[in-house]
Amino acid sequence: MNNEMHPLLTIGMIFKNDIRCLERCLKALEPLRRALSCELVMADTGSVDGSREIAERYADVIFDFPWKDDFSAARNAVMSRASGKWYLTVDTDEYLDEDISELTAFLKSAGKQQKKVCSLIQRNYASQEMNGLYADFPVIRLLLMSTGLRYEGIIHERWPITPQQLPKVHLLSRTIFHHDGYAESDSEQIKAKRKRNLKLLKEALDKEPENMTALLQYVESSRQEKNHPEIVRRALAAIENKWTGWQILGAPILRHAVRAARERNMPELQEWIEQAETQFPSSFFTRIDVEYIAFSYDWDEKHYVSCIQRGEKCLSALSDYRNGKGNHNELMYSSLLMSAPYWEQGLKIFLADAYLRTGNSGKCAEILATLNWALFDATQTENFMRVLRELHSMSTQDTAPILLQFWEGIGRPLPDKESAQKRLDAFHRAAALAFTAQNQKTEKEQKGFCRLSYTLFQPLADSCEAGRGAAVLESKDIREIHDILTGVENWKAFPCEALSYALSLGVPFPLENQTLKLEEMDLLIGSMAADKEAFYTLLWRTAKETSQGSLQKLAWLRGLALAAIQIYEWNSKEISDTDAGMSLARLFAWTEREFISNYYRPELLCKENIWALPPLHRLGWYCAQAFQALDGGDPAQYVKNLRSGLNSCQEGKAMIEHLLKHTPQLQKKEVPAELSALAEQIRALLSTFPADSPEVKALKASPAYQKVAELIENK
């Protein structure tokens, strides 16, 4: 505080257990305190989390005030200790924007003005990230102490400014407090705060049942409650009965009613929309919030003509709101829900789509070209891409300029690099949908089809993987395709359909001088495996071309074979070609044997040490040992190795069971009676000795045992 007897400004705060946000709030006030003669007065209503220690480092005056479920009492206790000419009240879960020029200029020149009460903007964020999801709310926070005004109301307290006095309140429209106190509505802290507020509001309404302000606040705070519809209907009855204040509070109440009806599928939705439009047609709560909600309903119901009408009306209202037209005083009682630029961008995306669906592709393109892509999140990026793909597919509009500007815009680090990366990831996800075989089939069957939507990305052939994928699909030149593939930087984002197409033409892969990690290979292979017929063709062609190739090519084949045994329908009753399953299992065993022999030290590849390998490699090793035994004429050892492989990796269960059932050498043959009798005699004899006895060892080495060993061991 400056060493003046009476500072120009007192900043007043109450706090309790606000360790999460208190220092952020206090630090943000420092530029204002340096710019003006200020004092900071703080009341601690019962902190035990270390907040008091933080407050003591900043406050000029700090004192304890026992909490008594009355916010006004605590606020007024702070005001009673204020010595400034002006008083500014601040909450701990908000912080002052760095642009304080408007506020400081007003206070320095306030002596020349007649203004006594001021409102400023509280920007309420819907998430802790504090991104574009917010609503601006003009709140009365600054007044001359000489007015003598003090707080009223035990909850959502305010200075008693009547609706008739609102025109005299001076709005500081560029002075913003960023507020995240009700973000992440599912957090335990927010739930506790909401429960507290509901209790206090109910008590206030018990004392004053016709208090319209408290009733509006009760509606707002009860949105998550089961009885919210009943509370809404109670508030609507107050409008019908014209309780004091209904003219200015009726519009925000009706807005909440419309939202509740939309969210909870209540039958009164259309009735309440019409009521809002009839009773409060000029209110921003009707023109923006109600129209936006009605717009979304019409969209879901495919009422695209009505959707367009409502969307345009909402955009017009948003323009008036931002340009200072209309009655802004009503907004001091409740904040708009859908006024943030983020929601406007979302409305425009769906409005553009509605124009396209009614045959106006030109208007669709016009709207898409005007969007502020830096405000997009992942969801809006995907929605935008869906509409742009549809516009490209269903019209002859030149979409290249929109796409190029969009690609450049979403990559800008606004508001930060993380947001830009989320947009880019969403772009790649949305682009990938255009390349799928099912999407191409659906597009071709649509009425008005003009071109496949994946061709939209051709202008980005030098910029991103979707563009390179489109360039590949539009080429038949193997050398050209090979050159395009060498430019791929992120195989995760490259359309697998384009790679499958390239490989079907005979483009060698993996590319020379370009190392792919195993996880990159597995990702690509997993994507391509969706088209089973094409995948098996690729597998066998690759197997023909790979014998003693590089480790990269062997790893690629190994990945293909592994994916193949996982998608093969081993248990299907429709599979009649048992040779196909056997060939696939042999290929898997061969590729695993070749790969692990190049990948692991030789001393690991023995029965005693095989446990050290990952499960699928253990399965592959045992399968390789099994086929070696089978080809050596030892079906009993073949079975043992297969069962050991199954014990080491359950993922191979279906394949192992198929092999045990369909291997020709294991099929039961008609055994001569004399051999069956000999086998039974030897089996009975073996049972009389311990399994590890010398007698058993000698008996198994005898010529008689060898004649019937398969009958005994495979039973």
| 590 and 624 Cβ atoms separated by less than 8 Å | yes
Tell me the C-alpha distance between 395 and 546, whole Å: 45
Within a 13 Å sphere around the CA of 71, how many CA atoms are in the beta-carbon half? Answer: 18
Beta strand pairing call for 170-179 and 134-144: unpaired
pLDDT in the model for residue 561: 95
pLDDT in the model for residue 513: 81
In the chain, the N- to C-terminal Cα span, in Å, equals 95
Buried b (16+ CB within 10 A) or exposed e, 208-220: eeebbbbbbbbbb
pLDDT in the model for residue 530: 87
Query: Alpha carbon of 710 to those of 438, 635, 704: distances in Å?
Result: 51, 8, 12
pLDDT in the model for residue 4: 52
311-331 pLDDT, tens per residue? Answer: 999 999 999 999 989 888 888
Tell me the C-alpha distance between 394 and 54, whole Å: 61
What tokens appear for 220 in the block?
């707002």
For 539-550, what is the mean pLDDT?
Answer: 81
Of 149-158, 406-415, 557-566, 685-694, the one with minimum mean pLDDT is: 685-694
pTM of the model: 0.79
Return the ∠ at Cα 261 (arms to 256 and 266), rounded to 5°.
155
- Asked if pLDDT for residue 283 goes beyond 80, the answer is yes
| 305 and 359 Cβ atoms separated by less than 8 Å | no
- Asked if pLDDT for residue 373 goes beyond 80, the answer is yes
Burial class of residue 663, CB neighbours in 10 A (0-12, 13-18, 19+):
buried
Q: What is the dihedral of CA 188, 193, 199, 204, to 10 degrees?
A: -170
pLDDT in the model for residue 680: 84
pLDDT in the model for residue 711: 72
Look up residue 140 and give its DSSP letter.
E
Look up residue 39 and give its DSSP letter.
E
Tell me the C-alpha distance between 614 and 631, whole Å: 26
Of 92-106, 401-415, 575-589, the one with minimum mean pLDDT is: 575-589
Tell me the C-alpha distance between 359 and 394, whole Å: 9
pLDDT in the model for residue 74: 96
pLDDT in the model for residue 126: 80
Tell me the C-alpha distance between 398 and 141, whole Å: 51
Beta strand pairing call for 61-64 and 86-89: unpaired
Burial class of residue 56, CB neighbours in 10 A (0-12, 13-18, 19+):
exposed
Strands, sheet with 170-179, edge to edge from the N-terminal-most edge strand: 61-64, 38-44, 9-15, 86-89, 134-144, 117-125, 170-179, 94-96
Q: For residue 438, report the phi and psi dihedrals to the nearest 5 degrees.
A: -65, -40
Tell me the C-alpha distance between 668 and 634, whole Å: 15
Which H helix or E strand runs over 175?
strand 170-179
533 pLDDT band, cuts 50/70/90, is confident
Which residue's entry shows tokens 């020709």?
664
20-69 pLDDT, tens per residue? Answer: 999 999 999 999 999 999 999 999 999 999 999 999 999 999 999 999 88
For 544-554, what is the mean pLDDT?
Answer: 79
Query: What is the percentage of the chain residues whose pLDDT exceeds 90?
Result: 69
| 127 and 183 Cβ atoms separated by less than 8 Å | yes
How high is the mean pLDDT of the chain? 91
pLDDT in the model for residue 111: 66
Tell me the C-alpha distance between 133 and 304, whole Å: 26
pLDDT in the model for residue 2: 46
Q: How many CB atoms lie within 10 A of CB 475?
A: 17
Q: What is the dihedral of CA 404, 409, 410, 414, to 10 degrees?
A: 170
For 306-310, what is the mean pLDDT?
Answer: 98
Which amino acid is present at 419?
S
Tell me the C-alpha distance between 98 and 176, whole Å: 9
- Asked if pLDDT for residue 114 goes beyond 90, the answer is no
For 403-410, what is the mean pLDDT?
Answer: 95
Of 99-108, 582-591, 679-688, the one with minimum mean pLDDT is: 679-688
For 397-420, what is the mean pLDDT?
Answer: 93
pLDDT in the model for residue 113: 67
Instruction: Name which of 469, 541, 519 is nearest 498 in CA terms.
Output: 469
463-513 pLDDT, tens per residue? Answer: 999 999 999 999 999 999 999 999 999 999 999 999 999 999 999 999 988
| 103 and 115 Cβ atoms separated by less than 8 Å | no
pLDDT in the model for residue 549: 63
